[in-house]
Amino acid sequence: MSSSFIRLEKRNDRWWLIDPDGRPFVSKGINSVRFDADKIQKTSIAPYAEHSLKTHGSLSAWQRATVLQLEGWNVNTLGAWSDLGVAHASGHGRPLTYCVILNLGAEFVRTQARDPQQAGAWLHGLFPDVFAPEFATFVYEAADRQCREHKANPALLGWFVDNELRWGPDWRSSIELLVVFLHLPPGAPGREAAHRFLPQRYSSINVFNAVWKTSFRSWTELAASAEIPPPWTRAPLYAQTTAIERARAQAEPAFARFVADCDAFLGVLAEEYFRITSAALKAAAPRQLNLGCRFAYVPPAPVLAAAARHVDVVSFNCYERDPLPTVEIYGACQKPLLIGEFSFRSEDSGLPNTQGAGPWVKTQEERAAAFEHYVRRALEHPNVVGYHWFKHVDQPREGRFDGENSNYGLLTIDGKPYEPFVQTVTRVNALAESLHDTPAPVVAG
């Protein structure tokens, strides 16, 4: 069967991406393939760009050299934040598959902020007020504007609607989003939604007070309050263990009910977010794939359930040595899965590796083994349709904009490939479709 766009299909109980000619494939991507890769923080110095200009002489020459390099590594997809000119510089008659990240929620947060410097949805964990009518208006307009250039391109794998939004306690804040929304300014639609939500969960204000450790005399008084201190805190979502959380819930029933309130509100929030963003994408580009919002960690179950109702592919970032336990949690939603980021950092790179996510290894040989183990494990799962490495080039040792200074690259900041790491990447990428079709025994690593 032929189609002019990339689509999804289940064959022999395994999900696949299907190219416009009807061939099944796995998306083997690299993030941040850019001539103007990371600048040194608080400067305009971009070491990789300076090296590339000296080596290649121009952006277009770099694009042509880079696409040949990627194809030589059996990479078939440009991941998030990449220069799309690289995709179209292919010398094989067909551009590389590519993704576009729209940042719909993040951009809405930025436009609503008084201080744009403090408005980073990713950096500061700010969540858009999805209940505001302005949110839907913004999202529809932004999706239409950003999709217009690419919606007829058969090389487009799909759209990431956002990146690593905060769905609960994490490295950016321990405050639950329900509490955040309760504290929005008076009249904010999100605040009103949160205050409508709580009375539906309690038989009386007194029962609520017992759980939330408050002393309000009525729901009206609660709605008018300037501050509702969080009665409980929990560990970041990615640091929680089922046994510890279950034991705490049994020992502290009020804590368990508070968490249930927070997670149930997240379900309402997520339903609105995914409903609006997905509808906007369908209106703007109805024949291309919605790749979701690139979860930074496994979100509470109501969030994942809402995503699964609306997106085509659930995308998530997973910086574990063994991805399969995480993949299996996501796999329960029965949707195709795309790993949007993973990486390993080596101590022999000479970089500090003090800022950034992901495990360390001692050598590039160990890094190669870790890559192979990770990909083989991921492709065991029948729902995984792709994996995207973070990233093309190392970060500056002085740190990029947020201080990250790690050995994430296949290339050094001077453009030199890490061997034998890239050799392993090349070999494993060539095997990806066969590994997914018939999962091979996992190699040690």
- Bond prior to 10 in cis (omega within 30° of 0): no
Residues 6+ apart with CB under 8 A from 166: 121, 125, 126, 127, 172, 173, 177
**Model pLDDT, residue 169:** 95
pLDDT at 47 over 90: yes
Q: Please report, to the nearest 10 degrees, the dihedral formed by the alpha carbons of residues 66, 289, 26, 324 taken in order.
A: 110
Reference 136, options 94, 162, 108, 100; nearest CA is 108
How far from chain centre, in Å, is Cα 425? 22
How far apart CA 245 and CA 252 sit, in angstroms, is 10
pLDDT band at 245 (very low <50, low <70, confident <90, very high): confident
Which residue did the predictor score with more confidence, 102 or 92?
Answer: 102
The b-or-e profile of 136-168 (16+ CB within 10 A means b, else e) is bebbbebbeebbeebbebbbbbbbbbbbbbbbb
**Model pLDDT, residue 92:** 65
Tell me: the pLDDT tens digits for 265-322?
999 999 999 999 999 999 999 999 999 999 999 999 999 999 999 999 999 999 999 9
**Model pLDDT, residue 1:** 42
CB contact at 8 A, 336 and 314: yes
Q: What is the DSSP string of 31-58?
A: S---TT--PPTTS---HHHHHHHHHHSS
CB contact at 8 A, 197 and 189: no
Neighbours of 1 (CB within 10 A): 7
Span 3-17, average pLDDT:
94
Span 241-256, average pLDDT:
88
Span 81-86, average pLDDT:
94
How far apart CA 428 and CA 249 sit, in angstroms, is 44
How far apart CA 80 and CA 100 sit, in angstroms, is 6
CB contact at 8 A, 289 and 8: yes
**Model pLDDT, residue 116:** 65
- Cβ-based burial of 117 (10 A; exposed 0-12, middle 13-18, buried ≥19): exposed
Domain boundaries of the chain, sorted by first residue: 7-173+276-437
- Bond prior to 420 in cis (omega within 30° of 0): yes
Mean pLDDT estimate for the chain: 94
pLDDT at 15 over 70: yes
Tell me: the pLDDT tens digits for 109-152?
999 887 766 667 788 899 999 999 999 999 999 999 999 999 99
**Model pLDDT, residue 182:** 97
pLDDT at 85 over 50: yes
CATH number of this structure's domain 7-173+276-437: 3.20.20.80
